[in-house]
Structure 1
Amino acid sequence: MARPTLLFCGLLSFLLSCGERKHIAIWEYPEISPSPEVQDYFGTTVIDSYHNLTDLEDSLVQNWFKTQDSLAETYFLNNDLTTQFKNRFHELEGRTSGEVRMIRTDEKGNYYYLRYDEDKDTDVLFYREKGGNLETELFDPSSYTNEKQNISYLEPSYDGTKIAIGFDPQEEFTSTIAIYDVINKKFLKDKITHINPDFGEIEWLPDNSGVIYLYFPFVEKSDPKYKKHSFSVVYYLGDNPEKRTPIFGWDKTLEIASDYYPKVKIGSSLDSYIVGYAAKSGIFYDSFIAKITDVKLGKPNWKPFFKASDKIYYNQGEIREQYFIYRRATPNGNELCQVEIGNPNFNNPLILATGSRENPITQFEVTKDHIYFVREKFGVEISIFKIDNQVNITQLSPPFVPGYASFFGESVAHNNIGIGMDGWTSNYIRYCINDEGDFTNESILDSPQFQEFKDLVSKQIMIYSHDGVAVPLSLVYKKDMKLESNNEVFIYVYGAYGESMSPFFSPTYLDWVKQGGILAFPHVRGGGEKGEEWHTQGMKELKYNSWKDLIACTEALIYKGYTRKGLISLYTNSAGGITAGMAVNERPELYTSFIAEVPRMHPFGLESATTASSTSYIEYGTIKDSLECLGLIQMDPYINLKQNKYYPATLLMPSNSDDRIPLWDSGKYIAKLQKYNLAETPIIMDIDYKSGHENSSNYDAAMDVNARIFSFAKSNMRY
């Protein structure tokens, strides 16, 4: 990571022991005076002790953050374990040198992908025809401009003649999309700006003549309208790049809130309809539908389609001929449904397949003649099915039982489809599925073998939480591991937005197990492991279930003899900061270290901020509702820190350029924790001054971050 260097004296003095596992520390943290703001919300007093840190333009505040970051830099420079982890991680991940990523296909089945060039330290864009083995270099970003630009987005046109290429926006919210002519191997003059693909991607028009994208008119963080009042526009190739025709969400007739994101979806070159979504935080949106012919004329006649109350997953709907096929949430594990577009009856659809609470349907895709879907048992065991035109369901037999799977290459224009699969201990492999349901290796990716991990195993156990609800807990460990109290545990938890903690293969993480530790993944409420109900039980005023599930899983690891107090490190990221942070607040003695990347540590502060440009209140609650406001206060790790307690070693890793969670969110928590902590444990904040919320760091920077995370966890184990 590129971080500013700031010299300081007297901030840190510590001596690592010869075992590199313990240290004697005297912590003198950067000083900043509290500036309390006291407010009353529905009879509850809220004290924001470090409200002054909200002013990120204040030079004193900026210097305080820079000095905090320098403290973290000094800590890791003097920690030999960080170098040891980094060297091991580089060796492990180096086996995938030249690895392919960001694989895309057009409707002809041709491939477009990035391959890392180690000599140039950049990803190069390649092309490969369907069924061929010869890859052709299309574009080397190192030769594009004098300034190095990393590719961050790809989207080919349906016919494969053009591809939209996005570049890393660095510290900016929006990026630039250029259009590359695949046939003539050159860029067109078209440039698309004021776009953030994380919020609204490029949608090619069915005839490939142009694109639709979500346009952000206000992109400066200091602007009160930042990220608000966005709308979808159509742009035709060859036009003036500043000529954008608004087609969805730009006026008030559809009554879309200014902080929502009016984006659209086109599924294939055969689509005659376009679906518009009033996107926001959460997974259920109001939607509208229009004819593509009207959209191209710039005069769409949007009609209401389905409502958020219909519980239809926004990203799980496809148009095939006159039908709309979709996945909807039910208390018993979701359903696949179908309605006629001309006369949609979402209250009484044709039900194609159903799931269960323990084994919900989590995704599906549609091809010309088939529908493929996945059931996911407790978030970690995948089963794959196919539905034919007579609605007959067949279970497919993949080469191994995956813990995670994701479809690719599908379109209603053909029957080609593939699926990528991996697990806690199984490397990621992509397979093509033929009409008979047979799997063949796609052979685009080179999946290296890791023989050192062949003796690692995984299992899932059920833990009963504070209210008797069974919570799945996934464990990864050595096959011959003994159940004894000296096992070091690294817990990774999330629990928000209905996202499941799905298995993933990571040599970096598995190295922890190879060195004798245990990986633990609690599937707490707030996630989606047991369907939408599992999510809602960890939302808003019920959010406490998330961290109490985590506490129950941690206690179970101790009770069952996997480990003991003093040997448990807790890691999370983003929204998981609430779950992990509140678990640490309530039971700090359970954890020896707490590590969080771009975390949300002060949700109440974000919802009460006058500059808030987020719809996260849909997940956490709003200060405008008495019950939800009380829930927000109760779930806020910063507000609920207590004086004179012994807290674990803490490492927060926020981003200065985070467009979702401002830097003061972590800063307030760190300032208060440094003041309140009685233990001689490091409380540090390692700030990324380059990347945003979705980390786009290069290979070396990613290894550096992981080395810091795991070395911090290891260094603070207490025997």
Structure 2
Amino acid sequence: MKQPVARRDGTVDEYHGRQIADPYRWLEDDTAVETQEWSQAQHQCTRAYLDAIPMREHIKARYTELIDYPKWSTPYQVGDSYHFFYNTGLQNQSLLYIEPKQVQRSREHPLASARLVLDPNTLSADGTVALTNIAFSKDGSLLTYGTSQSGSDWQELHIRRVVEGTDYPEVLKWCKFSGIAWRHDNSGFYYNRFPEPGSVPAEDQSNFSTVYWHRLGTPQSEDVLAFERPDAKELGFSPFITDDGKYLILNVWHGTDAQNRLYYRPVLSAHEDEATNTQSFVRLLDEADASYQFVGNDGATFYFQTDLQAPHGRLIAIDTEQPECEHWRELIAEQEDVLAFAFVAHQHFVLAYMHDAHHKMQVHRKDGSFLRQIELPMLGSIIDASGRPDGDEFFFNFTSYLYPPTIFRYTFADEKVELWHQTESKFDPSNYETTQVFYPSKDGTRVPMFLTYKKGLTLNGNNPVLIYGYGGFDISMTPGFSITPLLWAEQGGIYAVANLRGGNEYGEEWHEAGMLEHKQNVFDDFIAAAEWLIEQGYTHASRVAIMGGSNGGLLVAACLVQRPDLYGAVVCRVPVIDMLRYHKFTVGRYWTGEYGNAEQSAEQFAFMYAYSPLHNVREGVAYPPTLIMTADTDDRVVPGHARKFAATLQQANGGEKPIFLRVEFKAGHGMGKPTTKVIDEESDILAFLCQTFDLS
């Protein structure tokens, strides 16, 4: 089936005195018939190719078999019960349960004493309505939950009576990235939302974040405005209430910037009305000079994890009655390892540190003094943890590349870790291993990389390698269990994860070394990973595949156009591609602190244009086989990026290898994606790679 050729037009923009052509601008318009017809034709061509791959059905069957195991989330205590998510294996969406804390849990029948609170699979026939946000009241009797359709970031909030299993009639709209803060008297909650459509210009629909008070049992039209800052329309405000119920706190954020602010005020008493409230918020931290993550409080003393004057993170105490910097107390100083997260359990600080991109765990007393190290099963990641300041325990969920998520419970009374739930995967890891290596980047920077493969690997220079990376937004790539790498390893492949600059593996300095004018460092790190694997005899260029999504899609696209000779296949998922216009779509403006703004700054235009994948595709170059993936309702990274990139690559490609565009329908950026779609998508990727590398 022949791929459709995209029409080129004469669209040209001027950036700081330079004329920049944008011949596929029309592909940005999702609603245009021409765009829809071209996208559908592209997808049909891609489907014809993928469906004809002989191994695809075998891969899909094996993927389905491996993902079909019970999945549990970390339990969180609410009132006298735990709440957690559970999936039998192939359910499109996981179910929400609660279980009495006092009941002796049965290892053989772990759901015996649990009660179903919400089954998202009943919200749509195809699983494309997902549960994307939950917040229980303090006593656990009420639940606010958010639902999202087709992977959208937009959600609607509903309120459920937990025991009765019935919902209140009101539905709260215009919510995105919403925090939910229940008052402890169960009278209602605070939440943040955006303006009603039509009340602001379309380009401001994701600006003017406001905090509202919702009284239980009343329509949204009666919600009371609790906080706004019309003078700073790009700031976002996420409310939460301290564990003691005394303070309403606003986490104040600007896009995806790591630096944030924090405001607070006392919570109103039961007889006070938000509509007549005269208490104003105290702007405790308002400089946006560092990251401040609220850890807990003892009355007026607030505890924060911060990277202020400590790129690797430290723990401080601020007395809100003496909030000046000179009165701040350092409880736990900056360490050589990076402080990943901290919380309070049993009036102790529980901290996770990151050492060379894998986790360690410690317990400290409230004065900051070290108490003990928590032994972890192996080199891996703590993907979630929970505990209460007044509790007697905490839980953590541990995983690694060959170790499925497993839940452990630490009890303070006997000071020991016990297995809470062991995941029983159908994959036998005994014949595989994960190693960590370090390689030099272009400028000599030492970069870690994890390799997973079959034991007994021969360095014959011919092994197929799939390299994954992200490199941005302060996000660390720590070890995690996933089916795609396991299937790739079963086929004899090496799965590599490079811990690139731009993440937080080595603190804020590592992040800053991969953002704005330093973004090329991220691409250099990724290119160097492939070069090192080739030099060390693991593989050669025609057997190297690269994959990344979102900011990682930008990564692999940039590396593709900079070094097309270095790769045998490219999988580019929901990518950011047009660096000159990305900020114009949906929440793209949230990322200007990370990438820059080519319109506003000539200096930023220069370095962004230099690596923008869309603007660096070269005519006549033989590009490797490439699978570009997007979703029709992605409202985070709009599909126009992927469409324009596919059209540009297909037109310029001087070789015979295919450039495909795969479109997922009724799906978004990835959040809440049903299991059936996950299986189909990952099977397509693996089939594409196996076909390209002639694996069977």
Fold-level similarity (TM above 0.5): yes
Cα distance between partner residues in 2 of 1:471 and 1:429: 28
- Out of 463, 474, 483, the position equivalent to 1:487 is 463
Cα distance between partner residues in 2 of 1:486 and 1:664: 37
Structure 1 stretches lacking a partner, 5+ long: 1-11, 13-27
C-alpha spacing 1:337/1:296, structure 2 compared with 1 (3 Å) = farther
Cα distance between partner residues in 2 of 1:599 and 1:566: 23
Letter in 1 for 2:574: V
Cα distance between partner residues in 1 of 2:390 and 2:245: 7
Cα distance between partner residues in 1 of 2:89 and 2:520: 46
Cα distance between partner residues in 1 of 2:688 and 2:201: 35
Question: Is 1:236–2:215 an aligned residue pair?
Answer: yes
Partner of 1:213: 191
Partner of 2:297: 319
Q: How does 1:545-564 map to 2 (within 5 A)?
A: 545-564=521-540
Note if contact 1:82-1:707 (Cα within 8 Å) is conserved in structure 2.
Answer: yes
C-alpha spacing 1:115/1:309, structure 2 compared with 1 (3 Å) = closer
Letter in 2 for 1:127: I
Note if contact 2:319-2:327 (Cα within 8 Å) is conserved in structure 1.
Answer: no
Letter in 2 for 1:115: Y
| Offset at residue 336 of structure 1 (A) | 1.5
- Out of 613, 618, 623, the position equivalent to 2:593 is 618
Note if contact 1:567-1:718 (Cα within 8 Å) is conserved in structure 2.
Answer: no
C-alpha spacing 1:264/1:85, structure 2 compared with 1 (3 Å) = same
Partner of 1:353: 332
Structure 2 stretches lacking a partner, 5+ long: 106-112
Note if contact 2:142-2:161 (Cα within 8 Å) is conserved in structure 1.
Answer: yes
Question: Is 1:304–2:283 an aligned residue pair?
Answer: yes
Percent identity, please: 21
C-alpha spacing 1:90/1:718, structure 2 compared with 1 (3 Å) = closer
Partner of 2:37: 63
SS of alignment partner, residue 98 of structure 2: strand
SS of alignment partner, residue 372 of structure 1: strand
C-alpha spacing 1:470/1:50, structure 2 compared with 1 (3 Å) = same
Q: TM-score, normalised by structure 2?
A: 0.91
SS of alignment partner, residue 638 of structure 1: helix
C-alpha spacing 1:548/1:218, structure 2 compared with 1 (3 Å) = farther
C-alpha spacing 1:109/1:438, structure 2 compared with 1 (3 Å) = farther
Structure 1 stretch 277-286 or stretch 70-79: which is displaced more? 277-286
Cα distance between partner residues in 1 of 2:273 and 2:75: 25
Cα distance between partner residues in 1 of 2:547 and 2:620: 24
Note if contact 2:148-2:154 (Cα within 8 Å) is conserved in structure 1.
Answer: no
Note if contact 1:231-1:262 (Cα within 8 Å) is conserved in structure 2.
Answer: yes
Cα distance between partner residues in 1 of 2:349 and 2:438: 32
Partner of 2:109: none
Aligned residues: 678
C-alpha spacing 1:402/1:429, structure 2 compared with 1 (3 Å) = farther
Question: Is 1:280–2:255 an aligned residue pair?
Answer: yes
Q: How does 1:78-477 map to 2 (within 5 A)?
A: 78-96=52-70, 99-101=71-73, 105-108=76-79, 110-116=81-87, 123-132=94-103, 133=105, 134-141=113-120, 149-170=129-150, 173-196=153-176, 199-218=177-196, 223-249=202-228, 251-252=229-230, 255-256=231-232, 258-293=233-268, 297-298=274-275, 299=277, 300-307=279-286, 309-313=288-292, 315-329=293-307, 330=309, 332-346=311-325, 349-356=328-335, 359-380=337-358, 382-435=359-412, 437-443=415-421, 446-450=422-426, 452-477=428-453
Note if contact 1:123-1:141 (Cα within 8 Å) is conserved in structure 2.
Answer: yes
| Offset at residue 563 of structure 1 (A) | 0.7
Q: How does 1:502-541 map to 2 (within 5 A)?
A: 502-541=478-517
Q: TM-score, normalised by structure 1?
A: 0.89
| Offset at residue 36 of structure 1 (A) | 3.7
Note if contact 1:577-1:599 (Cα within 8 Å) is conserved in structure 2.
Answer: yes
Note if contact 1:673-1:683 (Cα within 8 Å) is conserved in structure 2.
Answer: yes
> 1:200-221 CA deviation, whole Å, 9 max, x = no partner?
2322223332111111224589
Letter in 1 for 2:338: P
Structure 1 stretch 163-172 or stretch 683-692: which is displaced more? 163-172
Cα distance between partner residues in 1 of 2:597 and 2:531: 32
C-alpha spacing 1:370/1:677, structure 2 compared with 1 (3 Å) = same
Cα distance between partner residues in 1 of 2:311 and 2:145: 41
> 1:418-475 CA deviation, whole Å, 9 max, x = no partner?
11111122221111112254211223xx500446211221122211111111111111
C-alpha spacing 1:147/1:622, structure 2 compared with 1 (3 Å) = closer
Partner of 1:644: 620
SS of alignment partner, residue 376 of structure 1: strand
> 1:293-312 CA deviation, whole Å, 9 max, x = no partner?
28962434022221354312
Letter in 1 for 2:81: N
SS of alignment partner, residue 301 of structure 1: coil
Cα distance between partner residues in 1 of 2:262 and 2:431: 49
Structure 1 stretch 487-496 or stretch 646-655: which is displaced more? 646-655
C-alpha spacing 1:164/1:689, structure 2 compared with 1 (3 Å) = same
